[in-house]
A and B are shown apart, each in its own frame.
Chain A
């Protein structure tokens, strides 16, 4: 029983990791209708910025805020400079640009900060009363932050005019423009927000998996599975998907299929969702009138 609880909580903790990156994927999809393959590398790069700030002597939370702001700006700039020129290009060209971004950021980080793993500190301290062998302070803290980001994001899209405008711009750019929405600005905003959320995710993940240029390679695969499972256009679904993938993967690895097939579980999930329920658990079905 104790072993089972350990596995369950280890699953919830890694699920939180997947959820936070899945949120960034949902964000970019909501605002551009693209899946950004470089999302993980952007997050990794942001985390290195935070690491540099912390090494330079800044307090953790100051580094956190600074990095989130810097990532927001960087995301917006990338949209304006790199993505805007291929705005009307076929989807394959866009995918190639994403992959180019991925490779460039990965190599750049390796060049600047080397490939040796680095420790990234955690800001969370567990109150003595809550200490337990299952969930560490950092794991509990990062799940909390992920949920907070989720609520903020959900409220933003649901209740603000800006959120509504962004959704509209992604779904139907032409009509939105006619209705007076500045589509270009909305896209920049979407990229900025996605980069900022990615930065938060990166800073939560790095203390667990260590900071190195390849830290996101595995995480991204599971985050895709999570986002698809929950519904790529629904932040609540993405977070739910993250936890489900984390727990299922861990329990299946420990008790059913063995660790060798853990990754296969994630891929089976992706394919299963695409075949049987393409909108995911909480996604909304879009109907196109011909």
Chain B
């Protein structure tokens, strides 16, 4: 009797299994009714301001589910806290892959955290899609075919900055103050690539700071004494604000280009002093939700409606909300295109053959493009200038590919 029940069970399971195969091809984490998506995000710890991204994405997937899901499948979004600590990110990522069996990892945040999980995910052949960092090392399909970036990477942005300086001030004397880590080094690399032979002559000072330095006053003083007329401010928010303020305080007014990492009016320019930040130049690829020109833009209207319904109380000016909204839209595009072939291989195939994909909040003219040898989905930016109140885009879309 016992044996009978068991064999019947086996038969039934086999039937169900073959039924599933008939409807679609699946890797773990996908089925006829569900797609499981994993993520690690700093909901606690020093970088928890970024948590807004994960929350916006969860809200976006909720909206998609209420609209019927992706080709009839609901998204189950498992976004876990890693406290911005790489060992914790590894632990949570393993849990997501082995216990929760997610189809893919999506937009996990932090350079160090993604570095820590990259080898594991590639060995397991689990897609590590659209990592939330601008480090250029996450677009290396030859060595890490399962890892893909998303936002414009630091090298791309540096290239655009250098192109602009070459075009508008070919005789510029450039001083670079950068953070002494992968982030700062990516930038230096991009700048030097574009300047080429002229780099030695044009860059009159390269100086760095450590994140443990209480102030960067000394570096700014050094940069001023170098006689430079262009300053590259390659710093994270606190230090970027210090650089802007110190330069103004010692009466130095170079053309200042600042990384988009710190281009927040609320978190950087206000502490530095809005008058001191006037004429600062940075780069952007997302539409500014506060910009009056996009007031009647249908995508912007949809974004505001989304915030109102799914994230009441969220600050529309917080650029992290827009970031989460847009990256989630990109993932949904990939999953929709996959159709009924929701294997991990197909997810990577679709993600690496995106052609001129438009996302709701990308600046006009910027599109998502990838190829099996180019794992940098967004590589164009628009330069922006701070007018003392808000950022104003100027010039054409510039490519950093």
Binding site for B on A (CB under 8 A): 2-3, 6-7, 10-11, 13-14, 17, 107, 110, 114-119, 133, 136, 205, 208-210, 212-214, 217-219, 221-222, 250, 253-254, 258-260, 262-263
Contacts and interface: CB of A to CB of B under 8 A. Distances in A.
Nearest to B268: A117
B219 A259 contact: yes
A11 B242 contact: no
B364 interface: no
Interface in B191-248: 207-215, 217-219, 221-222, 224-225, 237-238, 241-242
A263 B267 CA distance: 27
Chain B contact residues, majority secondary structure: helix
Identify the 6 closest CB pairs spanning chains A and B, nearest first.
A3-B225, A218-B212, A6-B221, A10-B217, A218-B214, A119-B271
B180 A133 contact: no
Contacts of A10: 215, 217-218, 221
Given A118-B271, A217-B212, 18 more contacts: A2-B225, A7-B218, A14-B217, A14-B218, A107-B45, A114-B49, A117-B238, A119-B270, A209-B214, A218-B211, A218-B213, A219-B214, A250-B218, A254-B218, A254-B221, A259-B218, A259-B219, A260-B180
B249 interface: yes
B48 interface: yes
Contact of A115 (B48, B207, B211, B221): B48
B46 A213 contact: yes
B297 to A, nearest CB: 28
Contacts of A13: 217
A79 B337 CA distance: 63
A221 B210 CA distance: 13
B207 A259 contact: yes
B215 A209 contact: yes
B250 interface: yes
B212 A254 contact: no
Contacts of B267: 116-117
B312 interface: no
B271 A6 contact: no
A2 B222 CA distance: 11
B170 interface: no
A129 B242 CA distance: 26
Interface of B: 44-49, 180, 207-215, 217-219, 221-222, 224-225, 237-238, 241-242, 249-251, 266-268, 270-271
A115 to B, nearest CB: 6
A277 to B, nearest CB: 25
Given A133-B250, A210-B238, A210-B241, A116 B49 contact: yes
Contact of A222 (B214, B221, B242, B270): B214
B218 A212 contact: no
Contacts of B249: 136
Counting chain B CB atoms within 10 Å of each CB, the highest count among A3, A116, A221, A253 belongs to A116
Contacts of A222: 214
Nearest to A2: B225
Counting chain B CB atoms within 10 Å of each CB, the highest count among A116, A212, A259 belongs to A259
A116 B208 contact: no
B210 to A, nearest CB: 6
Contacts of A217: 212
Contacts of A221: 212
B210 A260 contact: yes
A119 B44 CA distance: 23
B221 A260 contact: no
A102 to B, nearest CB: 13
Contacts of B219: 259
Counting chain B CB atoms within 10 Å of each CB, the highest count among A2, A11, A119, A221 belongs to A119
Contacts of A253: 218
Nearest to B210: A263
19 contacts: A3-B221, A3-B225, A6-B224, A10-B215, A10-B218, A11-B218, A110-B48, A115-B49, A117-B267, A209-B214, A210-B242, A218-B210, A218-B211, A219-B214, A222-B214, A254-B222, A259-B210, A259-B218, A260-B180
Nearest to B83: A107
Contacts of A6: 221, 224-225, 250
Contacts of A116: 49, 266-267
Nearest to B222: A254
A115 B46 CA distance: 6
Contacts of B224: 3, 6
A147 B222 CA distance: 28
A3 B175 CA distance: 15
Nearest to A264: B210
B271 A210 contact: yes
Nearest to B266: A116
Contacts of B211: 218
B48 A14 contact: no
Nearest to A249: B218
